[in-house]
Structure formats: structure tokens, C-alpha cells
Amino acid sequence: MSSLLPGQSSMTRESVTAFSVDLVPQAPPDSHYGLRAACRADPEPNKIDLVIGAYRDDNGRPWILPAVRKAEKILYDDGDRTNEYLPIRGMPEFTSAAQRLILGPNSIAIQEGLACSVQTISGTGALHLGGLFLSKFLPRPTPPIYISSPTWDNHVRVFGNVSLPIRRYPYYLKSSNSIDFDGMMATLAAATRGSIILLQACAHNHTGLDLSGSQWLVVAQTIRSRGLLPFFDCAYQGFASGSLSQDNRAIRLFVEQGIELIIAQSFAKNLGLYGQRVGCFHFVAAPSPEAHGTVARVASQLALLQRSEISTPPIYGARIASIVLESPQLFADWEEDLRTMSGRIIDMRTALRHELEELKTPGYWNHITEQIGMFSFTGLSEEHVAELKSKWHIYMLADGRVSMAGLNWGNIKRFAHAIDDVVRRLQA
Ligand code: LMR
């Protein structure tokens, strides 16, 4: 990097090297993908990969949903399809169907024209677009975004990258493996007006712990009375309980309460379209005489941001999603697929708790069946996790989060025995 090209003067060199790559430090490996790579490189045949939140069937294999396979066939057979650019805000059939799914088909926000939507690069792209929009248009000094502690660690990076001040609200009580609702509410009640509150609509990533209906109501009332802006991350609709309308109830509640809000919606998990990066950003205005003008202005600025970031969104995955969402038959097939995936995970939770209780593993394991969705926050310590990896070739995040989808009838006993072993040895 530092050598001169033939004929280049030292003057030129100085101006060229004003940016020195020597100042770029080595970044740490990603906590999820770095560990997944380590697991993949491990030659042990009985290793267990519980790192990444991606569904696996009972043979431990990725699963293409039958509804998605049918949609792919329809797309493949469609002689009229092209690979033209999509509009900047995405495929209209897709964004409308995504809106109906997340807000509910009879949503007042849709009927009254209070929502606008933009197709994004999965849920992460929607979080980023929302963060970028907020960092550009929030008043100065920029109010903070409050994120649960713990959370999906990428949340902190995504919003940090667009220079939003980040604060945390407590979410988890280690002593009882439950939600720290009092701590959460005390923090929200003290947040300055205009602060953004990031909420996970269902299947909380990292803890698997979701608020009850009455707790969501308290959160909605506090957000409204304190003048806060809720930003929902919804990556697991239908995947948590198996019911699409159960898993978006928090969002529907906020809309019914007339609260302005933002949503990042992902189709990675619920349609199994992980690598296709299918997602949608939604803004929902509070009802008011100015709401239509607000929605139009917000939509115009989102389009401008999208154009400068990715120009136009990718087409393939959005087409697949649209075919499933728009066909009554495929939609019904998909609902069945969701029940298959969520049901298998619930079975694994029951089996793991049962195994640990049969083994009389020290501690309480009821939280495993009380949590919901892709992840279990096991309560295992970093030392337990390190032992599970080195002795048993079992891989999970350092803070004890496991992807339940990595468990199946072929490896669950081994996993329970391994936990039993490390818990007993480290307490001795
Ligand atoms: C996870 O939390 O494991 C998933 O959401 C995958 C990811 O990108 O981190």
C-alpha cells in the first residue's frame, strides 16, 4: 500500500496516503457467524450447532417450506416474468400484502390510509432504513433509542452505525429467568419525550420471553402518555405461537390505541427465506386531519433514502412471498408450515425440560417451556458454555442463548446429558 508507483512523486504520495489503512484495526469476528464457522470446521460427527436462529427439521437439515416450494414452481412456470428493476419502494403487491399481514387484514390504519411501506433487505435492512430516517429527521439534540438488555446484538450496531444515541432498558431478571417488567417500565417512564423505544413484537431474541397482553397495554399507555415513539422489530410472526394473528397482537394493540409507530418486518424465519433477504419497513401515522400529508411526506423521504442506499430492492424473494401471501390456498399451506415449525420447537422445549428434570440436573428448568420462539436463554454461564464446546462439541452463544431449532430427537438426550455434566462439574 505504501510503495510508490513508477513516476509518482513523494508529493503525490503524501496526498494519496492522507488516509492510512494502518489506522484500520482488526475487527472481532461476529459473535454469531464467527461461532457458526467454528462449528462447521469442527470434525466431530456428534457436534451440535445451536448458534444461528435458522429453522432445522428433525433431521437437523434446513427446510424449504412446502408452500414456498409451490410458489417457486409457479414463478418458474410463469412465462411472463422478467428481471426488470422494481420500483424504488419495492413490489407493490408485496408491500401491500406485507402490510395486511403485519397490521391485520381489517386494520383501521390500512382502511384509513395511515400506513406507508417500503420493501427492504430483510428485517435488518428495515431496521437500518428506519434508523437512517430517524437520524436524519429527529430534532437536535437527537433523542436516544432505547433497546432491551439483552437483545440481538446487531440491534446495537445497526442503530450505532447511523449515530443514534443508544440507551438500554432492563428486560431480563437472571435470578428468576423472567422479564424484569418493573425495571423496564421504570426506564420507559423516565425516558425523555421523543425517545424511540425498540420493542420486539414476539419471540424476543435473545430471551424467548414475551410480554403478556396486560403488560403490552401498560407499555402502550406509557409510550403514549410520555410521547415516545415505538419501533417494532417483528422477525417471527407466526413462528412463535404458530398463529399469525396471535404473534402480531402487540402491534395491533398499539395501532388500535392510535399510537404512531414504525415496524421492521422480516420474512427470513416465517417463510424460511433467510438468504433471499425479504423484508418490509412500515410507518403508521396516528389518526389526525394531517395524517395523509404526513404519510405522503414520510413515504417520499423513505424513497429518497432507499434510492441512495440500494437503489431498488431485489425481486426474487419478494415475488415468492407475494405468491404465498396472495394465494388463499398457498396462504393456508403456509399457516400449516408455521404450525409445523413452531410445534416442533415447542416439542423440543418440552423434551429438554423433561430430560433435565429426569436427570435431576441442579437448578430449575421450567423457563425452557415458559419461553417461546426460536431461542432459549438457558441460564447457563460462560463457563458452562465453554465446557460444552470444548468437551462436548456443542456450540451456543457465550451468554447461554441456544437456537432451539438445532435440537431434534436425535441429539436432545446428548444435549441434556452434556448440560447435566457441566452443571454438576462446575458446581463441585
Ligand atoms: C440470530 O439471532 O441468530 C439470527 O437472527 C441470525 C443472525 O443474523 O444473527
Q: Can you tell me the mean pLDDT for 153-158?
A: 97
Q: Are residues 53 and 94 in the same domain?
A: no
Q: Report d(CA 301, CA 115) in Å as an integer.
A: 14
Grid cell digits, residue 181:
417488567
Q: Which of 300, 326, 352 is at the close of a domain?
A: 326
Query: Would you state the cell numbers that stand for residue 341, as one nine-digit string?
Result: 415449525
Output the DSSP codes for 250-278: HHHHHHHTT--EEEEEE-TTTS--GGG-E
Whether residue 409 lies inside any domain: the answer is yes
The whole-chain average pLDDT of the chain stands at 95
Ligand 1 pocket mutation, candidates 152, 155, 397, criterion most atoms within 8 A of CB = 152
- Let me know if 269 is a catalytic residue: yes
pLDDT band at 200 (very low <50, low <70, confident <90, very high): very high
The full DSSP string for 194-256 is T-EEEEESSS-TTT-----HHHHHHHHHHHHHHT-EEEEEES-TTTSSS-HHHHTHHHHHHHH
CB 97 within 8 A of CB 121: no
1 has a pLDDT exceeding 50? no
Indicate the DSSP class of residue 132.
H
Active-site hit among 152, 216, 334, 365: 152
Closest residue by CA, ligand 1 atom 1 = 53
CATH code of residue 363 = 3.90.1150.10
How many C-beta atoms surround the C-beta of residue 325 within 10 A? Answer: 20
**Same domain? 142 vs 210:** yes
Whether 47 and 101 map to the same domain: the answer is: no
Q: What is the SS3 assignment for 55-100?
A: CECCCCCECCCHHHHHHHHHHHHCCCCCCCCCCCCCCHHHHHHHHH
Question: Does residue 120 contact residue 281 with C-beta atoms inside 8 Å?
Answer: yes
- pLDDT for residue 8: 53
Taking the C-alpha atoms of residue 146 and residue 229, their distance in angstroms, rounded to an integer, is 10
Same domain? 53 vs 114: no
Number of domains in the chain: 2
User: Which candidate in 49, 233, 333, 337 is catalytic?
Assistant: 233
Report the pLDDT value the prediction gives residue 2, as an integer from 0 to 100. 45
State mean pLDDT over 146-153: 97
Does 314 reside within a domain? yes
Q: Please count the other Cβ atoms lying within 10 Å of the Cβ belonging to residue 339.
A: 14
272: left (phi over 0), alpha (psi -120 to 50) or beta: left
Q: Does 407 map to a domain?
A: yes
In a shared domain, residues 95 and 196:
yes
Q: Which atom of ligand 1 is nearest to the CA of 152?
A: 2
Q: Is residue 225 part of a domain?
A: yes
Q: For residue 403, report the distance from its CA to the centre of ligand 1, in Å.
A: 9
The domain that contains 295 carries what CATH number?
3.40.640.10
Residue that finishes a domain, picked among 326, 361, 390: 326
Residue-wise pLDDT for 9-61, tens only, equals: 555 555 556 788 989 999 999 989 999 999 999 999 999 999 999 999 999 99
Kindly state whether residues 92 and 238 are assigned to the same domain.
Answer: yes
Pairing relationship of beta strands 145-149 and 196-200 according to DSSP bridges: parallel
Domain annotation covers residue 364: yes
For 259, counting Cβ atoms within 10 Å of its Cβ (0-12 exposed, 13-18 middle, 19+ buried), the class is middle
User: pLDDT band at 297, cuts 50/70/90?
Assistant: very high
The whole-angstrom distance between residue 222's C-alpha and the CA centroid of its chain comes to 24
Residue 345 lies in a domain: yes
Q: 151 C-alpha vs ligand 1 centroid, how far in Å?
A: 11
Q: Measured between alpha carbons, how far is residue 168 from residues 84, 140, 309 in Å?
A: 43, 20, 28
pLDDT of residue 9: 53
Give tens-digit pLDDT for 379-394.
Answer: 999 999 999 999 999 9
Indicate the residue among 269, 291, 326 that finishes a domain.
326
pTM to 2 decimals? 0.94
Helix (H) or strand (E) holding 179: strand 178-179
pLDDT tens readout for residues 231-253: 999 999 999 999 999 999 999 99
State in Å: Cα 19 to ligand 1 middle.
34
CA triple 133-303-197, angle to 5 deg: 25
* Ligand 1 atom nearest residue 124's Cα: 8
**From the alpha carbon of 206, which atom of ligand 1 is closest?**
2
- Which residue is closest in CA terms to ligand 1's atom 5? 53
Ligand 1 atom at minimal distance to the Cα of residue 52: 3
Q: Cα of 42 to ligand 1 centre, how many Å?
A: 20
Closest Cα to atom 4, ligand 1: which residue?
Answer: 53
Same domain, 107 and 56: no
Catalytic-role residue among 70, 180, 210, 269? 269
Classify residue 375: in a domain, yes or no: yes
The amino acid at 388: L
Rg of the chain over Cα atoms, rounded to whole angstroms, equals 23
Cell of 301: 423521504
pLDDT of residue 19: 83
Residues with CB under 6 A from ligand 1: 32, 52-53, 152, 205
Q: How far is the CA of 14 from the centre of ligand 1 (A)?
A: 43
pLDDT at 18: 78
The cell numbers describing 261, all together, are 409507530
Task: Identify whether 233 is a catalytic site residue.
Answer: yes
337 catalytic per annotation: no
Residue from 52, 122, 128 to probe ligand 1 pocket by mutation (most atoms less than 8 Å from CB):
52
314 and 374 together in one domain: no
Give the HSE-up count for residue 342: Cα atoms under 13 Å, Cβ half-sphere: 26
The region that residue 373 occupies, defined by phi over 0 for left and psi between -120 and 50 for alpha, beta otherwise, is: left
Could you tell me the residue range of the domain that residue 145 belongs to?
85-326
**Rounded to whole angstroms, how far apart are CA atoms 299 and 282?**
9
Instruction: Answer yes or no: do 110 and 58 share one domain.
Output: no
Identify whether residues 256 and 314 lie together within a single domain.
yes
My answer on whether 143 and 57 are in the same domain is: no
Q: How far is the CA of 427 from the centre of ligand 1 (A)?
A: 31
* Residue 270 alpha carbon to ligand 1 centre in Å: 13
Residue 333 included in any domain:
no
Q: Are residues 270 and 195 in the same domain?
A: yes
Q: Which atom of ligand 1 is nearest to the CA of 53?
A: 3
Separation of alpha carbons 334 and 323, rounded Å:
11
Three-state DSSP at 23 gives helix
